[in-house]
Homo-oligomer: A and B are copies of this chain.
Amino acid sequence: MPGSDRKAPYAYAGLDRVFHEKARLGIATSLAGHADGLSFSDLKALCGLTDGNLSRHLQVLEEADFVALEKGYAGKRPHTLCRLTDLGREQFMAYLAELERVLRQAARATAGRSVDYRKTSPQAD
């Protein structure tokens, strides 16, 4: 489709879907603040997720090499340590920078536009 690729300022191609999904955004933020990693159960509590949901989202993050999972034992109980990889941290920073750009654009779009200016000309009262 020639011509269909013209500038699309609201396409937000830079917003990586791996981080943008809101459960994964919570997971990445949690892990970003804990350089030593977090246990599966701490992460579950911080993000308010079920076992199944957390597992599913961690798998997406692990497949992208953004998160590393270390499975071991704490005493006799299975214990999974989750942490951001260096790549994950770097890409998450890039995602946040893009998100900030989007937010600034949206703030500009909403600023002073809550009233339709064409309908409030001085003549209109």
Cβ of A69: which chain B residues have Cβ within 8 Å of it?
A: none
Cβ of A100: which chain B residues have Cβ within 8 Å of it?
A: 103
Which of A4, A45, A106, A116 has most chain B Cβ within 10 Å?
A106
Cβ of A93: which chain B residues have Cβ within 8 Å of it?
A: 110
Residues of A contacting B: mostly: helix
How many residues of chain A get a CB closer than 8 Å to chain B's CBs? 49
The copy count of this chain in the complex is 2
Q: Does A102 contact B (CB under 8 A)?
A: yes
Alpha-carbon separation in the docked complex, A10 to B57 (Å):
14
- Chain B min CB distance to A58 (Å): 14
Q: With A11-B48, A46-B9, A47-B8 in contact, is A108–B33 under 8 Å at CB? A: yes
